[in-house]
């Protein structure tokens, strides 16, 4: 355990930040899964809606420093690729 008041406070702050980071990362994973689920179901409208909702969430995690920008770009690219494939399969 911490030996000084400063170390105790830093331990408290680190735990709070850890819990907050876990919550934010969970939001990102959930948003990505929703897009994948919609594309797998073949629902183009829902998939596009989920994608447009997921992109700002992913970008905000980059701004918070929780996800590297290249990882965020990779996720967005792969999700967009799935949407594009779905729209090509359902040209209507």
pLDDT tens figures, 19-52: 999 999 999 999 999 999 999 999 999 999 999 9
Q: Is residue 71 part of a domain?
A: yes
Cβ-contact 38, 54 below 8 angstroms: no
Question: Per-residue pLDDT for 78 more than 70?
Answer: yes
What is the 3 state secondary structure string of the chain? CCCCHHHHHHHHHHHHHHHHHHHHHHHHHHHHHHHHHHHHHCCHHHHHHHHHHHHHHHHHHHHHCCCCHHHHHHHHHHHHHHHHHHHHHCCC
Alpha carbons 6 and 2: distance in angstroms, whole number: 8
59 assigned to some structural domain: yes
Mean of pLDDT over the chain: 94
CATH number, domain containing residue 61: 1.20.58.110
pTM above 0.85, yes or no: yes
Structural domain contains residue 2:
no
Residue 92 pLDDT more than 70? no
Which range marks the domain in which residue 33 is found?
8-89
Total structural domains within the chain: 1
């Amino acid at each position: 355990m911490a030996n000084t008041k400063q170390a105790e406070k830093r331990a408290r702050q680190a735990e709070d930040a850890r819990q907050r980071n876990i919550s934010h990362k969970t939001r990102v994973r959930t948003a990505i899964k929703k897009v994948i689920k919609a594309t797998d179901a073949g629902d183009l409208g829902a998939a596009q809606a989920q994608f447009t909702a997921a992109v700002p969430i992913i970008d905000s995690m980059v701004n918070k420093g929780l996800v590297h920008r290249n990882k965020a770009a990779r996720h967005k690219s792969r999700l967009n690729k799935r949407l594009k494939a779905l729209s090509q399969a359902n040209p209507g």
